[in-house]
Amino acid sequence: MASVTLPRSAGSLSGRFTGVVIALAMVGTVAILLKIGALLDYSGVTSAFTSNKQAIAVNLSGQRLDIPANMIRDRAQRRSAIELENIELAVVWPEMSGYEPRLASAFNDTGATSPRVLISLQADRRTPGTYERLETVYRSLASGPATESGDGLSRLPLSEEGSDASDFIAFSPEEGTFAARCFIPADARLSAECRSEFRVGPELMASYRFRPVHLRDWRALERSIAALIVSFLPQK
């Protein structure tokens, strides 16, 4: 079975790369908020999905993946033997199931406790995971010290007090593997989201997005995501 490399601290990045990342990360809060809508892609209707569980063979820059059609969000990506740079998936937590008629309400749920998890797989050799960026980028951008937030996690604030959204990194200081960047708008009518990224082998990057309420289950969630992705890889 293929191994999955979960995010760990990778030491310092090159000066050039770190500079670019920091410059991007220091975009003002207003600019970040303008992009939240694009990130919070929970409004898709179930008509875009299929209940067909047949595995679709896709090629991500040389990496073959066999993914059930009912997990693939884009109709255009549900074609076998196509070459892609990334693929977008959706599953329901905790079942880790793709779309089925019995799960239609879960796939349509846009609320604060939505069980839908959005997964993106991308051919990528360079980008560090969220936990790796904790030391190389996020600590230098923090607006205050990290504090314990329960469930084995600490919270590193990135947004200033009184801003229009809470922007923070939730991470596991003891286990040193998990980190997610979360946005919680002050306006309760807007949706909140967390995003975590980690590498799956040397050439594949995985990211998944979920509601902050599921941070309490971060261990089980991360294990389930990793196991699901491994199941897509050719079995040796």
Condensed to tens digits (0 to 9), the pLDDT of residues 46-63 reads 558 999 999 999 999 888
Number of residues that this document lists for the chain = 236
The residues that bridge with 156 in the sheet, in sequence order, are 169
Per-residue model confidence (pLDDT) at position 230: 94
Per-residue model confidence (pLDDT) at position 200: 87
Helix (H, G, I), strand (E, B) or coil at 185: strand
Q: How far apart are CA 78 and CA 55, in angstroms?
A: 9
Largest CA distance in the chain: 53
Distances (CA, A) of 43 to 23, 72, 102, 129, 168: 31, 16, 18, 26, 24
Per-residue model confidence (pLDDT) at position 15: 47
Q: How far apart are CA 86 and CA 108, in angstroms?
A: 23
Helix (H, G, I), strand (E, B) or coil at 98: coil
Per-residue model confidence (pLDDT) at position 170: 98
pTM, entire model: 0.81
**In 3-state terms, the chain is what percent helix, strand and coil (to 5)?**
30, 30, 40
Identify the segments of the chain with pLDDT beneath 50: 1-2, 6-40, 42-45
Distances (CA, A) of 78 to 22, 83, 89: 36, 11, 11
- The structure tokens listed for 169 are 């990194």
Q: How far apart are CA 200 and CA 70, in angstroms?
A: 22
